Amino acid sequence: MQPVVASSDPRKIVHIDMDCFYAAIELRERPELVGRPVAVGGRPGGRGVLTTCNYEARAFGCRSAMPAFQALERCPQLVILPVRFELYRAESKRIRAIFHEFTELVEPLSLDEAYLDLSALNSSGAALAAEIRFRIREQTGLSASAGIGPNKMLAKIASDWRKPDGQFEVRAEEVDAFVRTLSVRKIWGVGGVTAERLAALGAETCGQLQDIDLAVLHRHFGKFGADLFELCRGIDRRVVNPARERKSASTEHTFRNDLPDVEAGLRELVPLVVELLDELRAKHGDRAVRSAFVKVKFADFHQTTAERRCLEGAPEVYKELLEEAWRRGGGKAVRLIGVGVRFASLGGRGAGEQLELFD
Protein backbone atom coordinates (compact mmCIF):
# COMPACT_ATOMS: atom_id res chain seq x y z
CA MET A 1 0.00 0.00 0.00
CA GLN A 2 1.75 3.14 -1.23
CA PRO A 3 1.13 6.53 0.40
CA VAL A 4 0.25 9.46 -1.83
CA VAL A 5 0.51 13.20 -1.36
CA ALA A 6 -2.32 14.35 0.86
CA SER A 7 -4.98 16.34 -0.94
CA SER A 8 -7.35 19.04 0.27
CA ASP A 9 -9.99 16.37 0.94
CA PRO A 10 -11.20 15.93 4.54
CA ARG A 11 -8.88 14.05 6.82
CA LYS A 12 -9.39 10.30 7.26
CA ILE A 13 -9.00 9.67 10.97
CA VAL A 14 -9.61 6.18 12.33
CA HIS A 15 -10.05 5.32 16.00
CA ILE A 16 -9.37 1.64 16.73
CA ASP A 17 -10.70 0.26 20.02
CA MET A 18 -10.07 -3.36 20.95
CA ASP A 19 -13.09 -5.22 22.30
CA CYS A 20 -12.77 -6.19 26.01
CA PHE A 21 -9.04 -6.38 25.35
CA TYR A 22 -7.67 -8.01 28.52
CA ALA A 23 -10.62 -10.38 28.86
CA ALA A 24 -10.51 -11.25 25.14
CA ILE A 25 -6.84 -12.21 25.42
CA GLU A 26 -7.54 -14.41 28.43
CA LEU A 27 -10.43 -16.13 26.61
CA ARG A 28 -8.20 -16.76 23.63
CA GLU A 29 -5.70 -18.40 25.98
CA ARG A 30 -8.45 -20.30 27.81
CA PRO A 31 -11.04 -21.31 25.19
CA GLU A 32 -12.86 -23.48 27.74
CA LEU A 33 -14.12 -20.21 29.29
CA VAL A 34 -15.76 -18.92 26.10
CA GLY A 35 -19.44 -18.17 26.73
CA ARG A 36 -18.97 -17.81 30.48
CA PRO A 37 -18.92 -14.47 32.34
CA VAL A 38 -15.26 -13.55 32.79
CA ALA A 39 -13.51 -10.59 34.42
CA VAL A 40 -9.86 -9.66 34.78
CA GLY A 41 -8.60 -8.11 38.01
CA GLY A 42 -9.40 -8.37 41.66
CA ARG A 43 -7.60 -10.63 44.11
CA PRO A 44 -8.35 -13.89 45.93
CA GLY A 45 -11.26 -13.71 48.33
CA GLY A 46 -13.14 -11.07 46.35
CA ARG A 47 -10.72 -8.27 47.14
CA GLY A 48 -9.56 -5.58 44.73
CA VAL A 49 -11.40 -4.19 41.74
CA LEU A 50 -12.10 -5.43 38.23
CA THR A 51 -10.01 -4.18 35.34
CA THR A 52 -12.34 -5.30 32.57
CA CYS A 53 -15.18 -7.73 31.87
CA ASN A 54 -16.42 -9.61 28.83
CA TYR A 55 -19.91 -8.96 27.49
CA GLU A 56 -21.38 -11.99 29.27
CA ALA A 57 -20.28 -10.48 32.59
CA ARG A 58 -21.56 -7.05 31.62
CA ALA A 59 -25.01 -8.53 31.11
CA PHE A 60 -25.10 -9.09 34.89
CA GLY A 61 -24.12 -5.47 35.57
CA CYS A 62 -20.43 -6.13 36.13
CA ARG A 63 -18.08 -3.42 34.90
CA SER A 64 -14.54 -2.14 35.13
CA ALA A 65 -13.54 -0.51 38.44
CA MET A 66 -16.27 -2.42 40.29
CA PRO A 67 -15.13 -4.03 43.56
CA ALA A 68 -14.71 -7.75 42.98
CA PHE A 69 -16.95 -8.72 45.90
CA GLN A 70 -19.77 -6.61 44.45
CA ALA A 71 -19.34 -8.20 41.02
CA LEU A 72 -19.54 -11.67 42.61
CA GLU A 73 -22.75 -10.67 44.37
CA ARG A 74 -24.27 -9.74 41.01
CA CYS A 75 -22.82 -12.74 39.21
CA PRO A 76 -21.82 -15.61 41.56
CA GLN A 77 -20.60 -17.67 38.59
CA LEU A 78 -18.23 -14.93 37.47
CA VAL A 79 -14.72 -16.20 36.68
CA ILE A 80 -12.16 -13.65 37.89
CA LEU A 81 -8.68 -14.01 36.42
CA PRO A 82 -5.50 -12.24 37.57
CA VAL A 83 -4.06 -9.51 35.38
CA ARG A 84 -1.08 -10.37 33.16
CA PHE A 85 0.16 -7.05 31.87
CA GLU A 86 3.25 -8.47 30.20
CA LEU A 87 0.98 -10.56 27.98
CA TYR A 88 -1.30 -7.60 27.24
CA ARG A 89 1.66 -5.37 26.41
CA ALA A 90 3.01 -7.98 24.00
CA GLU A 91 -0.34 -8.19 22.20
CA SER A 92 -0.60 -4.41 22.08
CA LYS A 93 2.84 -4.26 20.46
CA ARG A 94 1.72 -6.71 17.76
CA ILE A 95 -1.37 -4.65 17.06
CA ARG A 96 0.58 -1.40 16.85
CA ALA A 97 2.90 -3.05 14.34
CA ILE A 98 -0.16 -3.63 12.16
CA PHE A 99 -1.08 0.06 12.45
CA HIS A 100 2.39 1.04 11.28
CA GLU A 101 1.97 -1.06 8.15
CA PHE A 102 -0.52 1.63 7.09
CA THR A 103 0.85 4.87 8.54
CA GLU A 104 3.42 6.32 10.90
CA LEU A 105 0.77 8.74 12.16
CA VAL A 106 -0.36 6.55 15.06
CA GLU A 107 -1.28 8.05 18.43
CA PRO A 108 -1.77 5.37 21.11
CA LEU A 109 -4.19 6.28 23.88
CA SER A 110 -3.70 3.10 25.90
CA LEU A 111 -2.80 -0.52 25.33
CA ASP A 112 -6.09 -1.16 23.55
CA GLU A 113 -6.91 1.96 21.54
CA ALA A 114 -5.26 4.42 19.16
CA TYR A 115 -5.88 7.10 16.57
CA LEU A 116 -4.56 6.67 13.03
CA ASP A 117 -4.35 9.43 10.41
CA LEU A 118 -4.82 7.70 7.03
CA SER A 119 -5.38 10.87 5.01
CA ALA A 120 -2.39 10.20 2.74
CA LEU A 121 -3.71 6.87 1.48
CA ASN A 122 -5.81 6.38 -1.64
CA SER A 123 -8.37 3.93 -0.24
CA SER A 124 -11.44 5.07 1.66
CA GLY A 125 -11.26 5.34 5.44
CA ALA A 126 -13.91 2.63 5.80
CA ALA A 127 -12.00 0.21 3.57
CA LEU A 128 -8.75 0.87 5.43
CA ALA A 129 -10.40 0.39 8.83
CA ALA A 130 -11.93 -2.89 7.66
CA GLU A 131 -8.53 -4.11 6.43
CA ILE A 132 -6.86 -3.16 9.72
CA ARG A 133 -9.52 -4.98 11.72
CA PHE A 134 -9.16 -8.03 9.46
CA ARG A 135 -5.40 -8.14 9.96
CA ILE A 136 -5.77 -7.80 13.72
CA ARG A 137 -8.15 -10.76 13.85
CA GLU A 138 -6.02 -12.80 11.45
CA GLN A 139 -2.78 -12.22 13.35
CA THR A 140 -4.00 -12.14 16.97
CA GLY A 141 -7.40 -13.80 17.03
CA LEU A 142 -8.86 -10.67 18.67
CA SER A 143 -11.65 -8.39 17.50
CA ALA A 144 -11.54 -4.62 17.22
CA SER A 145 -14.10 -1.91 16.60
CA ALA A 146 -13.38 1.19 14.54
CA GLY A 147 -14.71 4.67 14.04
CA ILE A 148 -13.92 6.67 10.92
CA GLY A 149 -14.35 10.42 10.63
CA PRO A 150 -12.81 13.69 9.49
CA ASN A 151 -11.39 14.36 12.98
CA LYS A 152 -10.44 12.68 16.23
CA MET A 153 -13.56 13.49 18.21
CA LEU A 154 -15.95 12.11 15.60
CA ALA A 155 -13.82 9.02 14.96
CA LYS A 156 -13.78 8.18 18.68
CA ILE A 157 -17.53 8.68 19.02
CA ALA A 158 -18.12 6.53 15.94
CA SER A 159 -16.04 3.63 17.27
CA ASP A 160 -18.69 3.04 19.96
CA TRP A 161 -21.54 2.90 17.44
CA ARG A 162 -21.12 -0.71 16.28
CA LYS A 163 -19.36 -2.40 19.19
CA PRO A 164 -18.30 -5.12 19.43
CA ASP A 165 -16.46 -6.15 16.26
CA GLY A 166 -17.93 -3.47 14.00
CA GLN A 167 -17.22 -0.09 12.50
CA PHE A 168 -19.06 3.13 11.71
CA GLU A 169 -18.14 6.09 9.55
CA VAL A 170 -19.14 9.73 9.82
CA ARG A 171 -18.55 11.28 6.39
CA ALA A 172 -17.73 14.96 6.05
CA GLU A 173 -21.08 15.72 4.44
CA GLU A 174 -22.89 13.96 7.30
CA VAL A 175 -21.24 15.82 10.18
CA ASP A 176 -23.89 18.53 10.63
CA ALA A 177 -26.75 16.05 10.86
CA PHE A 178 -24.75 13.58 12.96
CA VAL A 179 -23.72 16.00 15.71
CA ARG A 180 -27.03 17.84 15.98
CA THR A 181 -28.73 15.12 18.03
CA LEU A 182 -25.63 14.03 19.98
CA SER A 183 -25.63 14.47 23.73
CA VAL A 184 -23.19 17.13 24.87
CA ARG A 185 -21.65 14.40 27.03
CA LYS A 186 -20.16 12.95 23.82
CA ILE A 187 -18.09 16.09 23.26
CA TRP A 188 -14.37 15.71 23.93
CA GLY A 189 -13.53 17.26 27.31
CA VAL A 190 -17.11 17.40 28.63
CA GLY A 191 -17.60 15.55 31.90
CA GLY A 192 -20.52 15.29 34.26
CA VAL A 193 -20.16 18.72 35.86
CA THR A 194 -19.76 20.55 32.55
CA ALA A 195 -22.74 18.65 31.13
CA GLU A 196 -24.85 19.78 34.10
CA ARG A 197 -23.76 23.39 33.61
CA LEU A 198 -24.62 23.16 29.92
CA ALA A 199 -28.02 21.68 30.76
CA ALA A 200 -28.65 24.67 33.02
CA LEU A 201 -28.09 26.84 29.94
CA GLY A 202 -30.62 24.76 28.01
CA ALA A 203 -28.10 22.66 26.08
CA GLU A 204 -28.36 18.90 26.42
CA THR A 205 -27.65 18.17 22.76
CA CYS A 206 -25.04 19.57 20.41
CA GLY A 207 -27.81 21.15 18.36
CA GLN A 208 -29.05 23.07 21.39
CA LEU A 209 -25.49 24.05 22.24
CA GLN A 210 -25.06 25.50 18.75
CA ASP A 211 -27.79 28.04 19.61
CA ILE A 212 -25.71 29.57 22.41
CA ASP A 213 -23.52 32.54 21.49
CA LEU A 214 -19.75 32.27 21.73
CA ALA A 215 -19.66 35.21 24.17
CA VAL A 216 -22.03 33.38 26.52
CA LEU A 217 -19.95 30.21 26.39
CA HIS A 218 -16.78 32.18 27.06
CA ARG A 219 -18.39 33.90 30.04
CA HIS A 220 -19.41 30.57 31.59
CA PHE A 221 -16.49 28.33 30.57
CA GLY A 222 -13.54 30.61 29.85
CA LYS A 223 -11.18 29.41 27.13
CA PHE A 224 -12.99 26.08 26.92
CA GLY A 225 -16.06 27.98 25.73
CA ALA A 226 -14.38 28.57 22.36
CA ASP A 227 -13.64 24.84 22.11
CA LEU A 228 -17.25 24.02 22.91
CA PHE A 229 -18.41 26.42 20.21
CA GLU A 230 -16.47 24.43 17.59
CA LEU A 231 -16.76 20.91 18.97
CA CYS A 232 -20.56 21.00 19.10
CA ARG A 233 -20.42 21.72 15.36
CA GLY A 234 -18.18 18.71 14.78
CA ILE A 235 -15.02 20.81 14.38
CA ASP A 236 -11.94 19.32 16.04
CA ARG A 237 -8.57 20.70 14.97
CA ARG A 238 -6.39 18.36 17.04
CA VAL A 239 -3.86 16.41 15.00
CA VAL A 240 -2.86 12.77 15.42
CA ASN A 241 0.38 13.05 17.38
CA PRO A 242 2.68 9.99 17.24
CA ALA A 243 5.03 11.50 19.84
CA ARG A 244 2.31 12.00 22.42
CA GLU A 245 3.02 10.42 25.80
CA ARG A 246 0.39 10.83 28.47
CA LYS A 247 2.10 12.41 31.49
CA SER A 248 -0.76 12.22 33.97
CA ALA A 249 -4.35 11.22 34.59
CA SER A 250 -6.79 13.04 36.82
CA THR A 251 -10.40 13.74 37.58
CA GLU A 252 -11.99 16.70 39.31
CA HIS A 253 -15.34 18.04 40.45
CA THR A 254 -16.65 21.58 40.75
CA PHE A 255 -19.26 21.78 43.49
CA ARG A 256 -22.53 23.68 43.17
CA ASN A 257 -22.06 24.96 46.70
CA ASP A 258 -18.60 25.73 48.09
CA LEU A 259 -17.35 23.22 50.65
CA PRO A 260 -16.94 25.02 54.00
CA ASP A 261 -14.29 22.82 55.66
CA VAL A 262 -11.89 19.94 55.13
CA GLU A 263 -14.32 17.43 56.66
CA ALA A 264 -16.76 18.21 53.86
CA GLY A 265 -13.94 17.84 51.38
CA LEU A 266 -12.96 14.44 52.73
CA ARG A 267 -16.52 13.22 52.24
CA GLU A 268 -16.28 14.14 48.56
CA LEU A 269 -12.85 12.58 48.12
CA VAL A 270 -13.75 8.87 47.83
CA PRO A 271 -15.99 9.11 44.73
CA LEU A 272 -13.29 11.18 43.02
CA VAL A 273 -10.67 8.53 43.73
CA VAL A 274 -13.05 5.82 42.48
CA GLU A 275 -13.56 7.77 39.24
CA LEU A 276 -9.80 8.14 38.84
CA LEU A 277 -9.39 4.41 39.36
CA ASP A 278 -11.96 3.75 36.65
CA GLU A 279 -9.91 5.71 34.11
CA LEU A 280 -6.61 4.20 35.19
CA ARG A 281 -7.91 0.65 35.02
CA ALA A 282 -9.63 1.17 31.69
CA LYS A 283 -6.94 3.14 29.87
CA HIS A 284 -3.61 3.17 31.70
CA GLY A 285 -3.27 -0.19 33.40
CA ASP A 286 0.25 -0.66 32.04
CA ARG A 287 1.64 2.67 33.24
CA ALA A 288 3.84 2.93 36.30
CA VAL A 289 2.96 5.71 38.75
CA ARG A 290 5.53 8.30 39.81
CA SER A 291 3.42 10.47 42.15
CA ALA A 292 -0.07 11.26 43.38
CA PHE A 293 -1.54 14.75 43.64
CA VAL A 294 -4.58 16.67 44.83
CA LYS A 295 -5.65 19.99 43.34
CA VAL A 296 -7.83 22.42 45.29
CA LYS A 297 -9.46 25.58 43.94
CA PHE A 298 -10.71 27.95 46.60
CA ALA A 299 -13.83 30.10 46.53
CA ASP A 300 -11.75 33.11 45.43
CA PHE A 301 -10.48 31.04 42.42
CA HIS A 302 -6.94 30.72 43.76
CA GLN A 303 -5.72 27.16 43.52
CA THR A 304 -2.95 24.96 44.86
CA THR A 305 -1.68 21.43 44.21
CA ALA A 306 -0.21 19.10 46.84
CA GLU A 307 1.87 16.24 45.46
CA ARG A 308 3.82 13.29 46.82
CA ARG A 309 6.11 10.77 45.18
CA CYS A 310 4.70 7.27 45.58
CA LEU A 311 4.25 3.99 43.76
CA GLU A 312 0.65 3.57 44.85
CA GLY A 313 -2.07 6.16 45.29
CA ALA A 314 -3.66 4.72 48.42
CA PRO A 315 -6.72 6.50 49.88
CA GLU A 316 -4.64 7.62 52.86
CA VAL A 317 -2.25 9.43 50.52
CA TYR A 318 -5.04 11.43 48.92
CA LYS A 319 -6.55 12.19 52.33
CA GLU A 320 -3.22 13.60 53.56
CA LEU A 321 -2.67 15.55 50.35
CA LEU A 322 -6.15 17.08 50.56
CA GLU A 323 -5.57 18.17 54.14
CA GLU A 324 -2.21 19.68 53.16
CA ALA A 325 -3.70 21.60 50.22
CA TRP A 326 -6.67 22.78 52.27
CA ARG A 327 -4.44 24.26 54.98
CA ARG A 328 -2.82 26.52 52.39
CA GLY A 329 -6.15 28.30 51.94
CA GLY A 330 -6.19 29.65 55.49
CA GLY A 331 -9.76 28.60 56.15
CA LYS A 332 -11.26 29.58 52.79
CA ALA A 333 -14.09 27.51 51.33
CA VAL A 334 -13.35 25.28 48.36
CA ARG A 335 -15.19 25.13 45.02
CA LEU A 336 -13.19 22.38 43.23
CA ILE A 337 -11.23 19.26 44.16
CA GLY A 338 -9.19 17.19 41.74
CA VAL A 339 -7.19 13.99 42.25
CA GLY A 340 -4.65 12.42 39.94
CA VAL A 341 -1.40 10.62 39.31
CA ARG A 342 1.70 11.44 37.30
CA PHE A 343 3.16 8.59 35.32
CA ALA A 344 6.76 7.49 35.18
CA SER A 345 8.33 7.89 31.75
CA LEU A 346 7.70 4.99 29.39
CA GLY A 347 11.45 4.61 29.35
CA GLY A 348 11.50 4.16 33.11
CA ARG A 349 10.00 1.40 35.24
CA GLY A 350 8.07 -1.24 33.40
CA ALA A 351 4.67 -2.77 33.81
CA GLY A 352 3.78 -4.77 36.83
CA GLU A 353 3.81 -1.86 39.28
CA GLN A 354 0.20 -0.90 38.75
CA LEU A 355 -1.78 1.54 40.81
CA GLU A 356 -3.92 -0.19 43.45
CA LEU A 357 -6.26 2.33 45.03
CA PHE A 358 -8.67 0.09 46.93
CA ASP A 359 -8.61 -3.37 48.47
Count CB neighbours of 337 within 10 A: 24
- Give the tens place of pLDDT for each residue, 339-352: 999 888 754 434 33
- Give the tens place of pLDDT for each residue, 256-276: 889 999 999 999 998 888 778
Would residue 241 count as lying in a domain?
A: no
CB 119 within 8 A of CB 6: yes
Residue 259 and residue 312 share a domain: yes
Catalytic residue ranges? 113
Counting residues of the chain whose pLDDT is more than 90, the rounded percentage is: 67
Would residue 102 count as lying in a domain?
A: yes
Residue 223 and residue 184 share a domain: yes
Which amino acid is located at 302 in the chain?
Answer: H
- Of 51, 84, 117, the last residue of a domain is 84
Counting residues of the chain whose pLDDT is more than 70, the rounded percentage is: 88
Has residue 310 got a pLDDT over 50?
Answer: yes
pLDDT of residue 251: 85
Residue 200 and residue 125 share a domain: no
pLDDT of residue 352: 37
Residue 227 and residue 162 share a domain: no
pLDDT top residue among 182 and 65: 182
- Give the tens place of pLDDT for each residue, 78-127: 999 998 888 998 999 999 999 999 999 999 988 899 999 999 999 999 99
User: What pTM was computed for the model?
Assistant: 0.74
260: left (phi over 0), alpha (psi -120 to 50) or beta: alpha
Residue 335 and residue 254 share a domain: yes
- Of 84, 101, 130, the last residue of a domain is 84
pLDDT of residue 166: 97
- Using a 10 angstrom Cβ sphere, with 0-12 exposed, 13-18 middle and 19 or more buried, the burial of residue 35 is exposed
Domain count for the chain:
4
E strand segments, the chain: 13-18, 38-43, 47-53, 79-81, 106-110, 113-117, 144-149, 167-169, 248-259, 289-298, 303-309, 334-343
339: domain range? Answer: 248-343
Count CB neighbours of 256 within 10 A: 9
HSE, side-chain direction, 13 A CA sphere, residue 298: 15
Residue 270 and residue 226 share a domain: no
CATH number reported for the structural domain that contains residue 161 in this entry: 3.30.70.270
Would residue 354 count as lying in a domain?
A: no
CB 27 within 8 A of CB 38: yes
Would residue 194 count as lying in a domain?
A: yes
Would residue 355 count as lying in a domain?
A: no
- Give the tens place of pLDDT for each residue, 168-212: 999 999 999 999 999 999 999 898 878 999 999 999 999 999 999
